[in-house]
DNA sequence: AGAGTGAAAATACAGTGTATCGATATGAGA
DNA sequence: TCTCATATCGATACACTGTATTTTCACTCT
């Protein structure tokens, strides 16, 4: 009974779980954006047939949900914040950093309720940091308001980054970054206030812009908590 | 030479322009969401071949840009606001109303820089309302911050509306609206702060929630302008 | 009347999400 | 150890997508 007589054992299909699937999907999205994530491509990366994935998810949107929740794991932090302000500040900045690592997150942020374990854990941690500082409703409103701010801000920032990237390697200057179109439009004189803002405004980098707005909002929250 | 001898005059193709195209696209999106907008379906609605549209747009994303700008026309207003606060308040609420009329707007808001004529006009009007109340940079920051807030808030509101709609006709109660999943998760006791918020919080309708957060942010802006 | 030109239509291609169904490997029971 | 039931995987299929390319054709100008 030589080796050649015995048949090779059948190639068992690659074992799969949601974690591996989501990791593959995230990798694809990081490389080529959300549009690069297709069921076929994710499956191919795992040496599996496309339909295999539908044992773990029942729709592509669910895959996106899993991806978002995976990123919430990055946003989650062990160390407990010193106070509520630090908690909200940290949450905002960690979310922003996550979005800068995973641009596609900007497309998904706020698009669906984050009900995954990590998403809920983040919400829990945030609410816990504000617990007792005001009645539940006020706390709720505070978290919602801050979250709304930074999702909106992150979305715009990533949108601008993409626009810059797409219009070639145009640097941070607004005027030429947006290509000739804005410049020409402004030259018409129909948008004086906008022109003034563009030409007289000093360019601030995205991070300070983000932080400035965030601090304003946090001040507003502070006024209601105390 | 009877009528039958003479050939029918050739059917001239339907005249087209961007306005008609965008109107058709908006109608489709209003009925079935953004995914219902396909080049073929838009064209079909105009009795034209799909490729016809590519004379007016060069990519589907551009069609979306046009759609967004069309909605900005709804957001634009003739009457000049009494003061800056009214201007920002009005902008936020008109944008929200537009998004409630066109849910798909939430998917697009903030996704790309709004460089269309109406988008620019809205920005212009907003900046004009704040002009002179502070240095250009502060004004810029104010508009950005408020815009970030309401885009984020609108996105979440529409996301919640959809989630409610999709989980059947479950009413406004959080707990059962989110289906058994959240209820079960909360029952585990791992999310005490969240549970407290859900069970002890009084349900506020979306509009007051929106307005409350907005007022906070506007207060924050006021503190920097004066 | 014929040639040239522009636009519209048809065709084509490579991809998409997902339903369905036949093959097959695995574990249970005899 | 053999057989059968069951669950799982892969292949196939379908309807549809955005867009490039090719073909057709009505009209204008010489």
Residue A184's CB is within 10 A of a number of other CB atoms, namely 9
Please give the average per-residue pLDDT across A59-77, as a whole number.
98
Residue count of chain A: 226
| Mean pLDDT within B64-87 | 96
Judged by DSSP in three states, B222 sits in helix
Q: Give distance CA B52 / C1' D16 (Å).
A: 19
CB interface of B with A, residues 184-203, below 8 Å: 185, 190-194, 196-197, 200-202
Subunit contact A216:B212, Cβ cutoff 8 A: no
**pLDDT > 90 fraction of chain A, expressed in percent and rounded:** 75
- What is the rounded average pLDDT of the residues A88-116? 97
Residue B163 has pLDDT above 80, yes or no: yes
Cα nearest neighbour of B164 on chain A: A113
What pLDDT is attached to residue B174? 54
Over residues A34-54, mean pLDDT: 97
What whole-number distance in Å separates Cα of residue A181 and Cα of residue A175? 9
**CB distance B152–A156 less than 8 Å?**
no
Mean pLDDT of B200-223: 95
3-state helix, strand, coil in chain A (%, to 5): 70, 0, 30
**Mean pLDDT across chain B:** 91
Task: Kindly report the number of other CB atoms within 10 A of residue A4's CB atom.
Answer: 6
CA distance A29 to chain B (A): 17
How many CA atoms lie within 13 Å of A142's alpha carbon, on the beta-carbon side? 30
Q: Which residue has the higher pLDDT, A115 or B10?
A: A115
For all residues of chain A together, what is the average pLDDT?
91
- Comparing every residue's Cα with the C1' atom of nucleotide D10, the nearest one is A49
Residue listed under structure tokens 């997150």: A105
Q: Could you tell me the pLDDT band of residue B184, with boundaries at 50, 70 and 90? A: confident
Quick check: A212 CB within 7 A of strand C?
no
Judge: B217–A141 Cβ closer than 8 Å, yes or no: no
Superfamily of B1-58 according to CATH: Homeodomain-like (1.10.10.60)
Using an 8 Å CB-CB cutoff, list chain B residues near A114: none
* Domain ranges in chain A with CATH number 1.10.357.10: 80-225
Q: What is the DSSP string of B79-110?
A: SPPSSHHHHHHHHHHHHHHHHHH-TTHHHHTT
Residue numbers in A near B159 (CB within 8 A): 110-113
Query: Is the pLDDT assigned to residue A5 strictly greater than 60?
Result: no
Give the chain A residue whose CA is nearest to the CA of B193: A128
Cβ atoms < 10 Å from Cβ of A176: 14
Residue of B nearest to A182 (CA): B115
Res B15 pLDDT > 60: yes
Contact residues, A window 45-64, toward B, CB-based 8 Å cutoff = none
- Where residue B165 falls among pLDDT bands split at 50, 70, 90? confident
Confidence of residue B170 (pLDDT cuts 50, 70, 90): low
Six token digits for residue B225: 């302008």
Which of A98-107, A192-201, B43-52 has the least mean pLDDT? Answer: A192-201
CATH 1.10.10.60, chain A: domain bounds = 1-58
pLDDT surpassing 70 at residue B111? yes
A194 near B123, Cβ under 8 Å?
Answer: yes
Would you call B200 and A224 a contact, using CB atoms and an 8 Å cutoff? no
- Band (pLDDT 50/70/90 cuts) for residue B186 is confident
Question: Do residues B217 and A217 make contact, with C-beta atoms less than 8 angstroms apart?
Answer: yes
Nucleotide nearest to B14 (CA to C1'): C8
Percent of chain A having pLDDT more than 70?
89
User: Is residue B89 a contact partner of residue B147, using CB atoms and an 8 Å limit?
Assistant: no
- Of the candidates B134, B14, B48, B27, which has an alpha carbon nearest to the alpha carbon of residue B84? B134
The residue among A3 and B94 whose pLDDT is bigger is B94
pLDDT number for residue B4: 55
Percent of chain B whose predicted confidence (pLDDT) is above 90:
75
User: What's the CA–C1' distance between A4 and D1, in Å?
Assistant: 24
Among candidate residues B116, B111, B79, the one with its CA nearest the CA of residue B94:
B79
Q: Which of B152, B162, B194 to mutate to test the interface with A (most CBs of A within 10 A)?
A: B152
Which pLDDT belongs to residue A183? 83
Q: Of residues B10 and B66, which shows the higher confidence score?
A: B66
pLDDT digits (tens, 9 = 90+) for A133-168: 999 999 999 999 999 999 999 999 999 999 988 876
Q: Quick one: pLDDT at residue A36? A: 98
Confidence at residue A100, expressed as pLDDT on a 0 to 100 scale: 98
Pick the CATH number of B80-225 from 3.40.50.720, 1.10.357.10, 3.10.180.10, 3.40.1190.20: 1.10.357.10
Lowest-pLDDT range of A3-7, A118-122, B186-190: A3-7
Please, what is the angle between helix A136-166 and helix A206-225, to 10°?
170
- pLDDT attached to residue B66: 98
pLDDT at B205: 93
Report how far residue B222's alpha carbon sits from residue B226's, in angstroms, rounded to the nearest whole number.
6
Q: Does the pLDDT of residue B68 top 80, yes or no?
A: yes
For the stretch A160-204, pLDDT in tens is: 999 988 876 555 555 555 667 878 888 898 999 999 998 998 989
């Amino acid at each position: 009974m030589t080796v050649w007589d015995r048949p090779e054992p059948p190639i068992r299909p690659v074992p799969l779980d949601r974690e591996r699937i989501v990791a593959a999907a995230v990798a694809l999205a990081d490389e080529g954006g959300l549009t690069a994530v297709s069921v076929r491509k994710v499956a191919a990366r795992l040496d599996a047939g496309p339909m295999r994935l539908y044992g773990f998810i029942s729709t592509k949107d669910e895959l996106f949900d899993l991806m978002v929740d995976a990123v919430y794991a990055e946003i989650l932090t062990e160390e407990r914040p010193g106070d509520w302000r630090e908690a909200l500040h940290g949450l905002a900045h960690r979310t922003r950093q996550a979005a800068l690592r995973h641009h596609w997150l900007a497309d998904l942020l706020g698009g669906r309720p984050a009900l995954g374990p990590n998403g809920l854990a983040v919400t829990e941690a945030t609410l816990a940091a504000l617990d007792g500082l005001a009645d539940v409703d006020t706390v709720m409103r505070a978290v919602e308001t801050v979250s709304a701010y930074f999702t909106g801000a992150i979305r715009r920032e990533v949108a601008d980054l993409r626009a810059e990237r797409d219009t070639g390697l145009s640097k941070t200057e607004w005027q030429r970054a947006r290509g000739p179109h804005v410049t020409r439009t402004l030259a018409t004189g129909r948008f004086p206030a906008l022109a003034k803002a563009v030409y007289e405004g000093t360019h601030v980098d995205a991070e300070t812009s983000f932080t400035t707005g965030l601090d304003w909002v946090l001040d507003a929250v502070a006024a209601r908590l105390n």
